[in-house]
Chain A
Amino acid sequence: MISQLLFFLLLSTGIFFFTRRIGVIRRNIKSGQNWDGSDRAAERWATMARVALGQGKMTTRPVAGAMHILIYAGFVIINIEVLEILIDGLIGTHRVFAFLGPLYDFLIASFEWLAAGVILACIVFFVRRNGMAIARLASKDLKGWPSLDANIILVVEVLLMFAFLSMNAADAIAQSRGLEHYVAAGSFPVSSFLVPIYAGLTDAGVVAVERGMWWFHIAGVLAFLVYVPYSKHFHIILAFPNTYYSNLNPSGQMDNMAAVKKEVDLMMDPSADPFAAADPSDEPPARFGVKDATNLTWKQLLEAYTCTECGRCTSECPANHTGKLLSPRKIMMSTRDRIEEIGQQREANGGKWEPDGKSLLGDWITEEELWACTSCQACVEACPINISPMGIILDMRRSLIMEDSKSPESITSMFNNIENNGAPWAFSPGSRGDWTQEV
């Protein structure tokens, strides 16, 4: 009874902290600008099914892709076992699904194989991250916390799987000795290799290992639950809404800013009265383009929280590839850092936002990074969960130009040429058709 109570307390604490953190992230994401993703629902579900559920873009990199799918499958399927653990923990049963008989044996055996797969994949990932000079994993983008975060995730996953297998090994020993409560159930193809480790223990020792691992495993799962939304690892959940809200337009299509359209329409309309009082119902937009994280749409902020910092974008980026400062991954990481900071300051300030004199553009992301982008969409294509770093970059250029009138000199002359000559170069519009005389 005490253990049930303890279990209930542990579970509620985990769920409480997880929910609270989700609330914070939700609020931060909703501090972004409007974006309408209510259209084309069927296409959105299909995209989510293909890209997130089906891991459709993962295997473009075969090794990382295959290992990822192993961990993904392990995570999703082994959670059935967590369900059993939750029921056992709350009502005090032991292996409550054992009545399923052969099906139960099959399930437990497949969990064990998957657990072994997860351990293998995590070790491969750990070695790739720490022992091999893979550019996107050894990049300076990941210095400090991001790199530690990644390693914590891998180590915890290995520990959890090891605890799960040890629990089964001890359970199998207890079953063979006919110990009380330990019904004969389950099939243990992987954990049987661990049996020799615990076989020398007394009955009490075996039960202690089994219980200890059981508690360690579920406590670890709950601690991980709380940790994940503070980590890049939150993609395991956000990948689903993020792919649902994927950009379904061609990747090279930029939006036409509605606020600009209104002004241009007015300029082009000969019957418009330039001195007419502004319609009080349509307020001018707060600003053109993106300077701080709250100028981004909620969808772009969702992308920032979804990014798991794999760096496929950066490794495909032509600017990064040729040694420029721009790293699309860093754009996403900076965005998340800044919106987190804004959220924390707002919280400390009783929910009200007091400008802190800093902004995403300027303090986190520099003009040099923005101007290095070729808008080639390689980052968009490379992202396994349809994030668009390019969208943020181009929106920030809008702020540089339309709010701050800051551009490289050559870009300013390009604008002037278009304005005066209808071409980005200083050619007379009258000579536009000259080539026709040369055919």
Chain B
Amino acid sequence: MGFLSREPRRLDPRSLNMSSFHIPTMAEMTAAGQSPEVLFWVGCAGSFDDRAKRITKAIARILDASETSFAVLGQEESCTGDPAKRAGNEFLYQMQAAQNIATLNGYGIKRIITGCPHCFNVLKNEYPELGGTYEVLHHTQFIRELIETGKLRMSDNSPFKGRRITFHDPCYLGRSNGEYLAPREVIAKLDAELLEMRRCKQNAMCCGAGGAQMFKEAESGDREVNHARTDQALETEPEVIATGCPFCNTMMTDGVKNAEQESNVVVKDIAELIAEAADLLDAPTS
């Protein structure tokens, strides 16, 4: 292996168009008589929010690089109804659910991956009773699977080797669904130094966005929840605050800015870290 000629091709989301590829919608695939292995449920933040779109693209690149057969719903995707439900609007939530379940069942979807823990929780736990039963994976779970099955390989020279990374557990991945390991196991593949906050896993503190808080001003208090949580993350003296949720990402990014630490600490989704660290040239081509 000539190291010079095998400089790992990094999936840096900033270097767009490096490996341009087409992302099919379910409608296109169905028209072509095909069906993908997995549906990538993008979520509203991942579709519309500029920062979250970078995470979405990183996930898409990982799916592409691992030769996962996938599609998105595109315009047929609609809000799961999570913020409406948690704000008390069960009608709106169930209308959204009925519409999405009709779409998903219409395409015969079996397996879904999503980058949003809120979508993940609703799709996994709340849709089955309404007639939508799927195998639902959070992107960190799917990435772990890709690494374990050898479909995605990390570069031998991980750009994060020895870097100090702390992981902020999203409430709807962690406490809600007991998934504390997948994100940590994926981070471990980066050869980084994983730092735990004093409140982590079951006892992790919320970023402040859940329960529809993202869409309203906070009630009056001493300070913002995300600033308090970011302080806990900064106590570990990290170089990277890793997240697994687009809303946590926004909140922690704002927290880092508030603490005037943006020149020392970056907030990145695990998908972005992996996309940067994966060595695509070594991905199996069979």
Contacts and interface: CB of A to CB of B under 8 A. Distances in A.
A402 interface: yes
5 A-B pairs closest in CB distance: A252-B176, A323-B222, A375-B211, A397-B88, A323-B221
Contacts of A380: 175
Nearest to B220: A324
B75 interface: yes
B79 interface: yes
Contact of B219 (A251, A368, A396, A398): A368
Interface string A228-266: 000000000000000000000111111011001101110
A365 interface: no
A363 B224 CA distance: 27
Interface in A389-439: 394, 396-402, 407-408, 410-411, 413-415, 418-419, 422-425, 427, 429-436, 438-439
A418 B79 contact: yes
Contact of B86 (A324, A375, A430): A375
A256 B92 CA distance: 12
A419 B57 contact: no
Given A289-B88, A377-B171, A439 B20 contact: yes
B121 interface: yes
Contacts of B97: 256
Contacts of B273: none
B121 A253 contact: yes
Interface stretch (A64-72, A134-142, A158-166, A313-321): A313-321
B195 interface: no
A260 B177 CA distance: 25
A423 to B, nearest CB: 4
B129 interface: yes
B42 to A, nearest CB: 8
B215 A251 contact: no
A316 B203 CA distance: 8
A319 B219 contact: yes
Interface in B111-145: 121, 125-126, 129-130
A288 interface: yes
B47 to A, nearest CB: 5
A288 B228 contact: no
B72 A401 contact: no
B278 to A, nearest CB: 15
Among B42, B56, B89, chain A packs the most CB atoms within 10 A around the CB of B89
Contact of A439 (B21, B121, B205, B218): B21
B4 interface: no
A289 B46 CA distance: 31
A376 interface: yes
A373 interface: yes
A410 B222 contact: no
A25 interface: no
A396 B176 CA distance: 20
A435 B246 CA distance: 15
A373 B211 contact: yes
Contact of A394 (B44, B88, B126, B225): B88
Nearest to A403: B88
B83 A260 contact: no
Nearest to A377: B175
Contacts of B205: 316, 318, 321, 376, 378
B38 to A, nearest CB: 16
B217 interface: yes
Interface in A16-72: 60
Contacts of B91: 260, 263-264, 402
B219 A374 contact: no
Interface in A192-220: none
B216 A254 contact: no
B216 A415 contact: no
Interface string B209-247: 111111111111111110011000000000000000000
A152 interface: no
B98 A268 contact: yes
Contact of A399 (B86, B88, B216): B88
Given A372-B219, A381-B202, A423-B44, A435 B53 contact: yes
Among A372, A399, A423, chain B packs the most CB atoms within 10 A around the CB of A423
Contacts of B25: 433
Given A252-B177, A411-B216, 20 more contacts: A60-B203, A251-B175, A252-B121, A253-B125, A264-B98, A267-B95, A325-B219, A326-B219, A374-B210, A375-B210, A397-B87, A408-B217, A414-B215, A422-B79, A423-B78, A423-B79, A427-B47, A429-B78, A435-B53, A436-B72
B219 A371 contact: yes
Interface in B8-61: 16, 20-23, 25, 42, 44, 46-49, 53, 56-57, 60-61
A434 B77 CA distance: 13
A322 interface: yes
Interface in B240-267: none
A425 B48 contact: yes
